[in-house]
Amino acid sequence: MLTLAATQLIFVDLPGVQRPRDLLTQRMAARVGRELEEADRVLLVLAADQRIGGGDRFIAAALAAAHARVSIAVNKIDRTSPQRTAQALLDAEGLGVGEEIFPISARTGAGLDALTAHLCASMPEGEHLFASSTESDQPMALHLAELIREALLRRVYDELPHAAEVIVEEIAPLPSGALLVRALIWVETDSQRAIVVGARGRMVKAIGSAARRTLEGELGSHVHLELTVRTRRGWRSEPSALARLQIE
């Protein structure tokens, strides 16, 4: 959430838009549909340093079919030349769904003021839904699990983009003053587990090291992160497993 003067913006990070293949992706698609119906504005974020791909066009078509009010943010302009940024903006326009297109850099803050002002002007009048001090309505365990999963997917996305999930089972203070975070990584096959663990455990150690730094920045404390990787066949089609992950 972001509260600026009289306007409160509530950002909802949607799961990927894709054709349903199992119970997980069915629920993801259903959630996307619900959120598009309820949202006052949809923000499609593209990367200036990447070409428009089939996935981007699929999402744009889904937004057009939902008759959503769409604005586009072309991120990472700090990584591209002016010529490449201009081409990225033209490519974004070619998707045919954005009422407004904003070049931005989330890292440097360039363009964010204009984007924020545009989003604020798009909001309907009404009471604030959350206190101005609220940053997220997610439980801390779920938020930390998403940060760990991000570190995981940065390294193994090509091999298992939607076959891995993370559950934080424990967050507890240690006598040293650090925090213990114990998390479980689910995959669907033994071969996927071998990918996540890596030779002599190198991959899971690298994932844990990157995730720990992110968690420490988020929690403002030293973190002792314990990761366990387990195979759970067919978890994406188990209602009880998805409920535990709060995927409804």
Give the domain ranges of the chain: 2-122, 140-244
- Rounded mean pLDDT, 153-157: 86
CB-based contact 168:152 (threshold 8 Å) = no
At the topology level of CATH, where does 2-122 sit? Rossmann fold (3.40.50)
pTM for this structure?
Answer: 0.69
| Banded pLDDT at 244 (limits 50, 70, 90) | low
pLDDT tens for each residue of 28-60:
676 777 778 888 899 999 999 999 988 889 889
Average pLDDT of the residues of the chain: 87
pLDDT above 90 coverage of the chain, percent:
52
- Rounded mean pLDDT, 121-130: 86
User: What's residue 168's pLDDT?
Assistant: 93
CA–CA distance, 138 with 206 (Å, rounded to integer): 26
CA–CA distance, 133 with 155 (Å, rounded to integer): 34
pLDDT tens for each residue of 198-213:
999 999 999 999 999 9
Residue 242 has pLDDT above 80, yes or no: no
The one-letter code for the residue type at 243 is A
Residue 219 has pLDDT above 70, yes or no: yes
| Banded pLDDT at 132 (limits 50, 70, 90) | confident
| Banded pLDDT at 21 (limits 50, 70, 90) | low
Superfamily of domain 140-244: K homology (KH) domain (3.30.300.20)
Count Cβ atoms within 10 A of the Cβ of residue 48 and give its class: 0-12 exposed, 13-18 middle, 19 or more buried: buried
User: What's residue 248's pLDDT?
Assistant: 61
User: What's residue 41's pLDDT?
Assistant: 92
User: What's residue 19's pLDDT?
Assistant: 65
Matching fold, domains 2-122 and 140-244: no
Query: What is the DSSP secondary structure assignment for residue 5, as one 8-state letter?
Result: T
The answer to which of 104-108, 146-150, 204-208, 242-246 has the lowest mean pLDDT is 242-246
CB-based contact 229:191 (threshold 8 Å) = no
